[in-house]
Chain A
Amino acid sequence: DAGVIQSPRHEVTEMGQEVTLRCKPISGHDYLFWYRQTMMRGLELLIYFNNNVPIDDSGMPEDRFSAKMPNASFSTLKIQPSEPRDSAVYFCASSLMGDYSSPLHFGNGTRLTVT
């Protein structure tokens, strides 16, 4: 299996622009998570899905952030409009519940820089 695939690896954009981050989870996994990592706040859970349905989006910082999972093999995280404080590494992770020992499998992350 190729693992969790995120694109792009790096994104540099100007303040006010729309940014879309993409994620392909591991095939067969039924949970998908979006995390954000910054020096100040560490790893924060933004939103997660179960069987393509958003379960908890309480970590989404503002209405500028939105996430979708149109099918089991694809999810997007969109920031519109972007701001410099959104600069961070955004991770997508997937897991298969039913086995409590099953860890979250992370993608390589998207490093977002908003200037």
Chain B
Amino acid sequence: AQKITQTQPGMFVQEKEAVTLDCTYDTSDPSYGLFWYKQPSSGEMIFLIYQGSYDQQNATEGRYSLNFQKARKSANLVISASQLGDSAMYFCAMRDDSSNTGKLIFGQGTTLQVKP
């Protein structure tokens, strides 16, 4: 069965510093996708970044990058130059592309607080 694990319930980071949010996953399927979402206090789910299991390079989107280590089954999110607006809950999610169902399985989330 597929599983996503986020071991950090809460994280603090100083404004303008970088922070890494951990995510490990478990699947026996060779084709899958990994996603990160941001949920601010207002509640909406905002898509940040995607990494495919066959992608050779780590995904990047502006200040967000994904440290993808396939052998270790980890897909950590790196946020560079943290801003106060980055304070939110962050979710890692996985989609099994082999079965082509499209559904995402989510981790429990990490709350990030950026300190001024």
Residues of A within 8 A of B (CB): 31, 33, 42-43, 45, 48, 50, 55-56, 89, 91, 93, 95, 97, 100-101, 103-106, 108-109, 111
Contacts and interface: CB of A to CB of B under 8 A. Distances in A.
Nearest to A105: B47
Contact of B52 (A45, A48, A101): A101
Given A103-B35, A103-B50, A109 B102 contact: no
Contact of A31 (B45, B50, B102, B105): B102
Contacts of A108: 43-44
Nearest to A47: B103
B108 interface: yes
A47 B59 CA distance: 30
B68 interface: no
B49 to A, nearest CB: 9
Q: Chain A's interface: helix, strand, loop or mixed, by majority? A: strand
Nearest to B109: A42
Contacts of B37: 106
Which one of B52, B101, B108 has the greatest number of beta carbons of chain A within 10 Å? B101
Contacts of A97: 100, 102
Interface in B1-58: 31, 33, 35, 37, 43-45, 47, 50, 52
Contact of B108 (A42, A45, A50, A55): A42
9 contacts: A43-B106, A48-B101, A56-B101, A97-B102, A100-B31, A100-B52, A101-B52, A103-B35, A109-B43
Nearest to B108: A42
Contact of B102 (A42, A91, A95, A111): A95
